[in-house]
């Protein structure tokens, strides 16, 4: 409604219009009760944080009132009336703190324990799941709705957990991209959020997606440019070598996959802007643009140059200062005019080290910083003062 939109606009203006963004990523584990939400917002306010990035979609679930996905499992012991996102918005906006809805787009399930909800995307649409090259033959001969398909994918993922965090939804099937856009539309229609923050908008690595649906779409894209006889010959060989077209046209395969990731970001951004004009679209990205393109098929420089996103949040989590400097410089060189909110791995650093990174990001031209994460730095013996120690050292305008 108009009042909610005005509230969002006022908070956003206080937090971000012409001022340094002092952001904090908040993982869903801190959204599991009213008490934990109130504690988090108060801690952020005391530390001079002016933008909260709250994880409202962690693994294909919802820490808000969603019409499209199941309620987060961590909310099982809370009454249905408890709405974490609504409470964050109410409390944060009352303090002039902006709220960005943090959505994990591709990563939808942890492999060790598959989601139990019958309405979960893994159970409703297994045909949308990404497949590693090693399972291309299995995917080609197994129906996605056959329980053995998801089981095989989960087993492979558990065995390769160092290379892939869990199960991912592919950006290639049109229906999967439409679902992502619907999520953005539903979320921004229901809530007066200041921003939509997209994470895991990438492939786990360049060895995905060899699902039957993805390979079929790529074959169709390639087939339009081939002579019928050449296409027929390749089709004959592909019956026993599912990845044949990707091997024959590797550059087009990489471009095809990158374009589909960009299409997801564009669709979600467009849907959110239609529902809530003026909303800020940001994305957590791999800081090295070359590594992002080659390893994750994440073309975030194109997102910036095309105006798809309003801000970039490079995950510059390096503990080594030299590496951190190189990451921040690389992002600024590729971001063009799009603001950079440097992501800092506070969970790996002391409060003094984090403050030093903030100052360095500022000197490099960053329009703000986002610390990862509230949940990690607020735990432990010194957790109650970590954020205020950072603020004292890096946000000199604050007084305590």
Tens-digit pLDDT profile for residues 255-304: 999 999 999 999 999 999 999 999 999 999 999 999 999 999 999 999 99
pLDDT value of residue 11: 37
Q: Which residues contact 226 (CB under 8 A, 6 or more apart)?
A: 234
- For the chain, give the percent of residues with pLDDT over 90: 90
Predicted confidence band of residue 4 (pLDDT cuts 50, 70, 90): very low
Whole-number average pLDDT of the chain:
93
pLDDT confidence of residue 15 = 35
* Burial (CB count within 10 angstroms: exposed 0-12, middle 13-18, buried 19+), residue 34: middle
Count of C-beta atoms within a 10 Å radius of residue 220 = 10
pLDDT number for residue 380: 66
The token pair that represents 70 in the structure block: 């199941």
Those residues with Cβ within 8 angstroms of residue 248's Cβ, 6 or more apart along the chain or in another chain: 234
Q: Residues 294-343: pLDDT tens digits?
A: 999 999 999 999 999 999 999 999 999 999 999 999 999 999 999 999 99
- For residue 382, what pLDDT is reported? 67
Q: What is the pLDDT of residues 61-70, one digit of tens each?
A: 999 999 999 9
pLDDT in tens, 5-20: 333 333 333 333 348 9
Question: Would you state the pLDDT for residue 393?
Answer: 93
Rg (CA), the chain: 22
Does residue 115 surpass a pLDDT of 70?
A: yes
């Amino acid at each position: 409604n108009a009042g909610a939109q005005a509230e969002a606009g006022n908070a956003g203006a206080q937090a971000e219009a012409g001022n340094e963004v002092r952001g904090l990523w908040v993982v869903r584990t801190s959204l599991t009760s009213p008490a934990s939400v109130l504690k988090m917002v108060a801690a952020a306010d005391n530390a001079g944080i002016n933008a909260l990035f709250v994880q409202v979609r962690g693994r294909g679930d919802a820490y808000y009132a969603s019409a499209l996905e199941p309620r987060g499992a961590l909310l099982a012991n809370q009454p249905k009336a408890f709405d974490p996102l609504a409470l964050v918005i109410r409390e944060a906006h009352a303090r002039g703190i902006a709220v960005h809805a943090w959505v994990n787009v591709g990563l939808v399930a942890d492999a060790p324990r598959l989601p139990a909800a019958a309405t979960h995307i893994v159970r409703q649409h297994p045909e949308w799941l990404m497949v590693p090259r090693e399972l291309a033959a299995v995917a080609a001969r197994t129906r996605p709705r056959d329980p053995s398909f998801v089981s095989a994918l989960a087993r492979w993922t558990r065995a390769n957990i160092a290379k892939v965090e869990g199960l991912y939804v592919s950006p290639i099937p049109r229906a999967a991209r439409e679902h992502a856009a619907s999520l953005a539309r539903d979320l921004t229609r229901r809530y007066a959020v200041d921003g939509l923050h997209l994470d895991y908008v990438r492939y786990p690595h360049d060895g995905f997606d060899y699902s039957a649906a993805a390979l079929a779409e790529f074959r169709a894209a390639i087939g339009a440019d081939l002579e019928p006889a050449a296409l027929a010959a390749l089709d004959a060989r592909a019956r026993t070598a599912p990845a044949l077209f990707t091997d024959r046209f590797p550059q087009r395969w990489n471009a095809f996959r990158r374009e589909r990731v960009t299409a997801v970001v564009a669709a979600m951004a467009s849907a959110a802007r239609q529902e809530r004009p003026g909303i800020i679209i940001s994305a957590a990205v791999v800081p090295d643009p070359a590594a992002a393109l080659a390893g994750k098929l994440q073309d975030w420089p194109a997102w910036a140059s095309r105006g798809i996103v309003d801000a970039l949040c490079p995950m510059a989590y390096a503990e080594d200062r030299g590496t951190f400097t190189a990451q921040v410089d690389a992002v600024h060189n590729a971001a063009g005019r799009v603001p950079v909110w440097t992501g800092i791995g506070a969970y790996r650093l002391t409060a003094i080290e984090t403050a030093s990174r903030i100052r360095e990001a500022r000197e490099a031209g960053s329009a703000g910083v986002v610390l990862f994460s509230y949940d990690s730095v607020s735990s432990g013996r010194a957790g109650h003062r970590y954020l205020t120690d950072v603020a004292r050292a890096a946000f000199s305008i604050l007084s305590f």
